Amino acid sequence: MASEKYRAIIIQDDKILVMKRNRLGRDYAVIPGGTLEEGETPEECCKRELREEFGIEVEPIRLIYKIEQNGIHQGFFVAKWVSGEIHKTDAEEYTTHNNALYGKFEPSIVPISSLRELDLVPHELREQLLADIEEYGLELNRPLIEFKCNWG
């Protein structure tokens, strides 16, 4: 079975949470989240990943995107930031000694207005997110859609 990942789109005060990355000399950003563990629901995955990587508590509200990307299935929830302040934690992303493989990670909050210029990957997600913000507003109260995309 293909790997499943779940991510949380968190928009607050006209800003969005992203994980900034630098890997193999490329600066880019992703929507935060990670791999579903055995026995875990998609919502539990989102909560755990944001707690582990950002140090915050979130509440997934609704699944709006299902993306198939190079054999990996990803679900994107609109989520609410419940509590905590973002910071680097003791998660593997920050503590691994193999930076050549994993690169560098920086939990960040960026203005929605910078999304078009931000190298948010996959790019198909960035374009869909921008279109949906324009059509549905920052609450992203849209029906679930599914699509395929490439890495960058």
In tens, the pLDDT along 21-75 reads 988 888 999 999 999 999 999 999 999 999 999 999 999 999 999 999 888 999 9
Classify strands 33-35 and 72-83 as parallel, antiparallel or unpaired: unpaired
**Sign of the C-alpha dihedral, residues 28, 115, 18, 42?**
negative
Are the beta carbons of 16 and 109 closer than 8 angstroms?
yes
Q: Which structural domain, as residue segments, surrounds residue 78?
A: 4-149
The whole-number pLDDT of residue 85 equals: 96
pLDDT tens across 70-95, in order? 889 999 999 999 999 999 988 888 77
Residue 11 sits at φ, ψ, to 5 deg, of -115, 125
Could you tell me if residue 85 is left (phi over 0), alpha (psi between -120 and 50 degrees) or otherwise beta? beta
Domain count, the chain: 1
What is the H or E stretch that residue 53 is in? helix 42-54
99 vs 47, residue with greater confidence: 47
DSSP for 92-116 reads HHHH-S-HHHH-EEEEEEEEGGGTT
CATH of the domain at 141: 3.90.79.10
pLDDT tens column, 111-135: 999 999 999 999 999 999 999 999 9
